[in-house]
Chain A
Amino acid sequence: MPSKPAGTLYRGREGMWSWVAHRITGVGIFFFLLVHVLDTALVRVSPEAYNEVIGTYKNPIVGLMEVGLVGAILFHAFNGIRLILVDFWAKGPRNQRKLMIGVGVVWVVLFVPFVARHLTHVFGG
């Protein structure tokens, strides 16, 4: 495996970084999902067990981790739609830069209101 291939149009550009970010957010979301199914499964143990574990999530540290999780999910979701458009929409590849900007815009538009509301819940008690 060559350790340092020659530069290409793709390498190091936004297409590569969105691909890297899609992988990293995907892996993160997958591991969260495993834990999330396990904690939800506590509803079959007892209401107290479930409430106790969910209660430990209601603190500022986990609250901020949830902000990160939702940020990752929103990126993965809309970058995924960009991928679908590049693959299936005839004009997708030609408009790939605009699609990339679109992902950023949608991400900000959905993420900012979420952060405002969620942090109000987390820190407002």
Chain B
Amino acid sequence: MSDIAAPRSSSRARNLKGGGRNRSGQTNFELYSWLFMRLSGLALVVLVLGHLFTNLMLGDGINGLDFAFVAGKWASPLWQVWDLLMLWLAMLHGTNGMRTIINDYAEKDQTRFWLKALLLTASIVIVVLGTLVIFTFDPCLDPHSTLSVCQ
């Protein structure tokens, strides 16, 4: 008696109750992903355009970029938080966009799997590396540094 299959109604009720799944038995992952692209996109417009304006338009623009410029910016918690947020949001936004493109154009299951595995690996490496760089940055890495903070 114990091996009678669960009636359809009970599994549907279980689905309706949640467990992160909607009525058709799928998760809402794609809905949240769609919403995330729009929310992170809005934030990135401000973060990226602000980043481009301060680095390329103000001062000497591209010619002013060097180690001392980075040290000067990351002396301020504002730019540390700015760059960290930009790194995480841009990488999540970009990785999710690439995932959509792989799903659209790679038709074989094997190809999709390996492309997504490669994408995920690259993204994790870049996010972890970038985060470590922001948190462990040392303006006085060079013991003979002439930067004013190191005197």
Interface positions of A (Cβ within 8 A of B):
23, 26-27, 29-30, 33-34, 37-38, 40-41, 43-44, 46-48, 50-51, 54, 57-58, 63, 66, 70, 73-74, 77-78, 80-81, 83-84, 87-88, 114, 117-118, 120-122, 125
Give the total of B residues in contact with A, Cβ under 8 Å.
40
Q: Top 5 nearest A-B pairs by Cβ distance? A: A47-B67, A121-B61, A30-B94, A37-B130, A80-B41
Is there contact, CB below 8 Å, between A37 and B87? Answer: yes
Nearest opposing residue in chain A for B129, CB measure: A41
Point out the residues of chain A lying under 8 angstroms from B138, CB to CB.
44
Interface positions of B (Cβ within 8 A of A):
38, 41-42, 44-45, 48-49, 52, 56-57, 60-63, 65-68, 70-71, 87, 90-91, 94-95, 97-98, 101, 122, 126, 129-130, 132-133, 136-138, 141-142, 145
Nearest opposing residue in chain A for B56, CB measure: A118
Task: Provide the bound-state CA to CA distance between A21 and B57, in Å.
Answer: 26
Point out the residues of chain B lying under 8 angstroms from A43, CB to CB.
67, 70-71, 133, 137, 141
Residue from B62, B70, B90, B122 having most chain A Cβ neighbours under 10 A: B62
Nearest opposing residue in chain A for B91, CB measure: A33
B92 CB to closest chain A CB, in angstroms?
A: 11
Is there contact, CB below 8 Å, between B62 and A70? Answer: no
Is there contact, CB below 8 Å, between B61 and A118? Answer: yes
Q: Which secondary structure dominates where chain B touches chain A?
A: helix
Point out the residues of chain B lying under 8 angstroms from A44, CB to CB.
132-133, 136-138, 141
Apart from A29-B94, A81-B42: 6 A-B pairs, beta carbons within 8 A: A27-B97, A30-B95, A57-B62, A77-B41, A78-B45, A84-B42
Nearest opposing residue in chain A for B107, CB measure: A1
Task: Provide the bound-state CA to CA distance between A41 and B60, in Å.
Answer: 22
Nearest opposing residue in chain A for B45, CB measure: A77
CB-CB under 8 A for A41 and B61, given A47-B141, A81-B42 = no
- 9 interchain pairs, CB-CB under 8 A: A23-B101, A27-B98, A30-B95, A43-B137, A43-B141, A44-B132, A47-B66, A74-B49, A118-B56
Contact check: which of A33, A84, A118 meets B41 at CB < 8 Å? A84
Task: Provide the bound-state CA to CA distance between A48 and B68, in Å.
Answer: 11
Is there contact, CB below 8 Å, between B61 and A117? Answer: yes
